[in-house]
Each structure stands twice: as structure tokens, then as C-alpha cells.
């Protein structure tokens, strides 16, 4: 049946082009799948849904329908607190997934808000799971992606376990740096999409403390900061700070 074949070919090519243009290609769920499986998976993705700064991707209690992949922009997840505050629990950069926590409860556990203009790909989970039950590589890939998330969460807890604000912020910056690098961005120079308040909430610090630490790191020549823009100038010293053995940049500078 040549007609059908032709249609299929066109479809595949269109899809591939669409995803090739997305520089996250190898980073989301798609990586490591055979050509044919990939086409199947791509066919269920809703591509490039757009959110403005402050828009919610989802909120606590909403029924879980889709897993989201950040295409561009970034997203924070948080628990709303009584009194209007927010407890930030995560930041999601391009190429990272969102919503995996809701699969089990079938209801979203937290709010997700765009930190700037953000484009998102959505995978309807029921279709994804249906596909996984047929295509072995999709199932395998799903489990691996969730495992990666769990190991990332564990590393995040090591950041929070640091006793000093300095160590926590340094470890946080290193974590961002690594994640940017993994996504093909510069590991030494990037823009923080989130506010000082968000960083503080995430790290368990007051926003003023975050601000002061940035200026201290800057004075010590460890990073250069201007508002959202961050440039890591001395990776080694930043690592030392993250390991908790930095304490007082002036002393470290003096030799």
C-alpha cells in the first residue's frame, strides 16, 4: 500500500524536523529511543504550548493529565502557604520534566509557575503509559528518567543539608551550572530566572541573606553578579565554599 506508506513518511519527517529544531531533543523523554518508537512517541506530544511570566502550568489539586517538558524559559514549583507565601521546592530549566510527582496521586501535589515566557511540550500520560505497555523502549526510558529525577532529588537534599548559608548558595550555583552545561549552555555564565526571594525560599534563607551572599561572593572574586546575570569566575573557590570550608572570603583572599 504505497499511499499509506507515503503519508506515514511525510508525517515522520515533519515530526523529526519539529524535534530537530528543538535543541532539547536528546534531553527529554525522547532520548535513546529507536527511530520507529520515537515517531510513535512524538506523535502524542503537544508541542510548544506557551506560558507568560506568572502563568501557572498547573496547581495543587488539579487532575494530572500531562507530563511537561520545558522547551525554553523556566518554571518554579512550590507549595502555597497559608498567608499567601510560597515554599519553593524546585526550579526547572529547559530540557527538564515537570509533573512526575503527580502520576501516583493522579492529582498535582504542587503549583508550577512560569518564571518568564516559557514554552512547554506536553505528553498526555495515559497515552504515554499506553505506549509504554506496547513499546518496551518507552517503558525502559520512563523508568530511567524517573530514576534520574530521584537521584537528582537526592543530590538536592545534600545542598539543603549544608549548615551554612554560604555553602547552600554555592552548592546551588554549582548545581545550576552543571544543569546548564548538561543542556548545552555555558556552565560559567547564565541568567537566574528566579528572584532572590525564590532562591531564599528554596534554600531556607531570607532574601536579604541571599543578596548579601551574592555581594560577598562578588567581592571575593568568586562570581560576578549583576541582577539576574551570573558569571562564575573561580570555580574552585566556589567548590570550596560549597564544601563548607570557605568561611570568610577575605582570609582566603589574603594568601
Among 53, 204, 219, 221, binds a copy of itself (CB under 8 A): 204
> Minimum Å distance from CB 218 to a copy of itself?
24
Stretches 16-24, 54-62, 127-135, 227-235: which one binds a copy of itself (CB under 8 A)? Answer: 127-135
What span, in angstroms and rounded, lies between the C-alpha atoms of 182 and 75? 18
Kindly state whether residue 207 participates in binding DNA, applying the rule CB under 7 A.
yes
Contact partner at residue 49 from DNA, a copy of itself, none, CB < 5 to 8 Å by partner kind: none
| Contact call for residue 126 and a copy of itself (CB under 8 A) | no
* b/e code 53-78 from CB counts within 10 Å (16+ = b): eeeebbeeeeebebbbbbbbbbbbbb
Q: Is 227 in the site for a copy of itself (CB under 8 A)?
A: no
Ranges within 141-200 binding a copy of itself (CB under 8 A): 142-151, 153-158, 160-163, 168
Q: Which is nearer to a copy of itself, 59 or 151 (CB)?
A: 151
The residue within the footprint of DNA, chosen from 212, 234, 240, 252 (CB under 7 A), is 212
Task: Determine if 206 is a binding residue for a copy of itself (CB under 8 A).
Answer: yes
Site string for DNA, 230-249 (x = CB under 7 A): -----------------xx-
Nearest Cα residue to 91 out of 244, 217, 197: 197
Which residues, 145 to 184, sit near DNA by CB under 7 A? Answer: 163-166
Residue 195: which of a copy of itself, DNA, none does it interact with, CB under 5 to 8 A by kind? DNA
**Residue 96 C-alpha from the chain's centroid:** 4
The owner of cell 507549595 is: 79
Closest of 70, 71, 88, 66 to residue 79, by C-alpha: 88
C-alpha distances in angstroms, 6 versus 9, 13, 181, 212, 236?
Answer: 5, 11, 40, 62, 56
In 59-168, DSSP assigns E strands to: 66-72, 75-80, 86-92, 97-98, 111-114, 118-124
User: If binding means CB under 8 A, how many residues of this protein chain bind a copy of itself?
Assistant: 50
E strand spans, the chain: 46-51, 56-58, 66-72, 75-80, 86-92, 97-98, 111-114, 118-124, 189-191, 223-226, 229-232
d(CA 59, CA 102): 11
Q: Of residues 20-59, which lie at the interface with a copy of itself (CB under 8 A)?
A: none
Stretch that binds a copy of itself, among 44-52, 129-137, 188-196, 216-224 (CB under 8 A): 129-137
* H or E stretch at 147: helix 136-160
Phi, psi of 248 (to 5 degrees): 80, 90
For binding to DNA (CB under 7 A), which residues are involved?
Answer: 163-166, 192, 195-197, 204-212, 214-215, 225, 227-228, 247-248
Q: Which residues bind a copy of itself (CB under 8 A)?
A: 77, 79, 81-82, 87-90, 100-105, 109-110, 129, 132-133, 136, 139-140, 142-151, 153-158, 160-163, 168, 201-206, 243
Amino acid at each position: 500500500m504505497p499511499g499509506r506508506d507515503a503519508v506515514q513518511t511525510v508525517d515522520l519527517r515533519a515530526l523529526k524536523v519539529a524535534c530537530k529544531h528543538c535543541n532539547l531533543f536528546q534531553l527529554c523523554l525522547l532520548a535513546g529511543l529507536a527511530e520507529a518508537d520515537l515517531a510513535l512517541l512524538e506523535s502524542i506530544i503537544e508541542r510548544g504550548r506557551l506560558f507568560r511570566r506568572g502563568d501557572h502550568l498547573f496547581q495543587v489539586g488539579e487532575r494530572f493529565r500531562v507530563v511537561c517538558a520545558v522547551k525554553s524559559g523556566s518554571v518554579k514549583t512550590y507549595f502555597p502557604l497559608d498567608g499567601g507565601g510560597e515554599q519553593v521546592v524546585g526550579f526547572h530549566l529547559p530540557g527538564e520534566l515537570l509533573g512526575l510527582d503527580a502520576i501516583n496521586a493522579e492529582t498535582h501535589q504542587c503549583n508550577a509557575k512560569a518564571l518568564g515566557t516559557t514554552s512547554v511540550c506536553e505528553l498526555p500520560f495515559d497515552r504515554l503509559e499506553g505506549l509504554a505497555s506496547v513499546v518496551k523502549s518507552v517503558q525502559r526510558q520512563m523508568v530511567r528518567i524517573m530514576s534520574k529525577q530521584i537521584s537528582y532529588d537526592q543530590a538536592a537534599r545534600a545542598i539543603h543539608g549544608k549548615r551554612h548559608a554560604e555553602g547552600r548558595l554555592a552548592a546551588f550555583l554549582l548545581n545550576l551550572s552543571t544543569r546548564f552545561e548538561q543542556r548545552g549552555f555555558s556552565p560559567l555564565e547564565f541568567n537566574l530566572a528566579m528572584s532572590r526571594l525564590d532562591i531564599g525560599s528554596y534554600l531556607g534563607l531570607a532574601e536579604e541573606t541571599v543578596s548579601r551572599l551574592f555581594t560577598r561572593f562578588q567581592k571575593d572574586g568568586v562570581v560576578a553578579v549583576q541582577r539576574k546575570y551570573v558569571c562564575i569566575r573561580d570555580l574552585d573557590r566556589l567548590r570550596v565554599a560549597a564544601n563548607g570550608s570557605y568561611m570568610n572570603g577575605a582570609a582566603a583572599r589574603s594568601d
